[in-house]
A = this chain, B = another copy of it.
């Protein structure tokens, strides 16, 4: 069975129809910041909103992750709301090899010779380069500062980048808000089963124990039923698959599709309705289990029926889906292929499932994983420790000005920084938060702990900025700032 490499990020559209406005810009970016074998450059896309910006105010810089940057820009409302309060310039930078930022155009993914330039280290250096460029643009003769303070923001993999940007390049960004950033989801730090254990716990706690049991029992039943052609056909019909299952490979793809769906429902368990990849109601975990539990069953076929009833919440909430394509990427905006490559090179996150979770058992087998990588991309992970060597794992006690936030309903909290590291590196937990709930725009249905996290971010940013301005502004201008709300 293919190992679960679940995409880090799913974004709901903030409010149907509402759109944050941005100007799209491009910067000529060196392809390789660390070697000098090539002087190739490419166009890196970034989005700018300067409608709130006033002189000497900060830059809020979203460190784009594995997907089209406009999706992130539309779904990180918190940054927008805070920029309005603080007079900040808003930048959303697209991660190389995602969205429109394809260094080699259509050839970008064709071989390691091109795709090999997709790495988190290169992406961080891109952001440093872009920030330097922005400083030159937005510091002018009216500025009292030589450099504007920059706060990096990011959710999920973007949150990892936001934190690492501060850690590796503290002269480029003053502080970082890293939401649901699993910087410890690596070898030797987080046991591989933790992620799936959380998925299970959340479905059990917010859904029901029955719901967990149904899913848990389903895997062997699926395999039993699917051992015959007619069984495969029945499953295909029950789950409205566009193409009938024909082989064991098809069955595995189908079971993966189910697994990822369960995970996704948990990741985005926001309290308000969302137009996802597919639309979902608020509190989808509860709704999912409640639908599933409403079907009483006393045999295998009944269990499958119950499961399919639950799954329809995800696949067909609006009742307009004709059939389910299990081979399709969940969201065309997410660069699943790019992320798979990163997971094979520098973002190697060991995952496994055991008897303690609701997934089909799957051990973490690095050799097999490496073989799969080689088959798919022609690369092998150098070793499992690459991300530790690059970013230090848990040894971040010398870092400063970072807030890590984690929703405890989010399975990615398994690899998150869920305790304060020092008086400079803080952690805030949202017991009722899902995957980077706090970066989303304010919603009246938000849990109090999500609201608190946003306030926590704001207070920390204020503190960093105040220190920065105190050090860098002429005294009279600093004093004048003190009289305004945000210093």
Partner of A34, one of B35, B39, B129, B392: B35
A15 to B125, CA, bound (A): 45
Q: How large is the interface on A (under 10, 10 to 19, 20 to 34, 35 or more residues)?
A: 35 or more
* CB pair A380 B39 closer than 8 Å: yes
A129–B32 CB distance below 8 A: no
What's the nearest-Cβ distance from chain B to residue A96, in Å? 11
| Interface window among A52-60, A168-176, A224-232, A445-453 | A168-176
Contact call A33/B34, Cβ cutoff below 8 A = yes
Select one of B36, B115, B129, B379 contacting A345, CB under 8 A.
B36
Return A414 CB to nearest CB of chain B, in Å. 21
A386 to B, closest residue via Cβ: B33
The answer to whether A132 and B385 touch across the interface, beta carbons within 8 angstroms, is yes
Within 8 Å by CB of A112, from B36, B129, B171, B393, lies: B36
Q: Which B residues are in CB contact (< 8 Å) with A171? A: 392-393, 395-396
Q: How close is A319's CB to chain B, nearest CB, in angstroms?
A: 44
Instruction: Give the residue among A34, A122, A345, A390 with the most B Cβ atoms within 10 A.
Output: A34
Please give me the residue from chain B that is nearest to A380 by CB atom: B39
Within 8 A of B (CB), among A361-401: 379-380, 382, 385, 389-390, 392-393, 395-396, 398, 400
Bound together, the chains give a CA A122 to CA B37 distance in angstroms of 12
Which residues of the partner chain B approach A393 to less than 8 Å between Cβ atoms? Answer: 171
Instruction: Name which residue of chain B comes closest to A342, CB basis.
Output: B36
Whether A39 pairs with B119 at a CB distance below 8 angstroms is no
Rounded to whole angstroms, the CA-CA distance of A37 and B103 in the bound complex is: 14
B35–A170 touching, CB < 8 Å: no
Give the oligomeric copy count.
2
- With both chains docked as a complex, state the minimum distance between the C-beta of A195 and any C-beta of chain B, in angstroms: 24
Contact in complex: A170, B398 (CB < 8 Å) = yes
Q: Is A431 an interface residue (CB 8 A)?
A: no
A381 to B170, CA, bound (A): 24
Chain B residue nearest in CB terms to A170: B398
Could you pull out 30 A-B pairs where Cβ atoms are within 8 angstroms?
A: A30-B382, A32-B34, A33-B34, A34-B34, A35-B35, A35-B116, A35-B117, A35-B121, A35-B122, A36-B115, A36-B116, A36-B117, A36-B345, A36-B346, A36-B379, A37-B112, A38-B112, A38-B116, A39-B380, A39-B382, A125-B389, A129-B389, A132-B385, A169-B392, A170-B395, A170-B398, A171-B393, A171-B395, A172-B392, A398-B400
Interface residues of A (CB under 8 A from B): 30, 32-39, 112-119, 121-122, 125, 128-129, 132, 168-172, 345-346, 379-380, 382, 385, 389-390, 392-393, 395-396, 398, 400
Ranked nearest first, the 9 interchain pairs of A and B with the lowest CB-CB distance are A37-B116, A171-B392, A171-B395, A36-B116, A34-B34, A170-B398, A34-B121, A36-B345, A35-B116
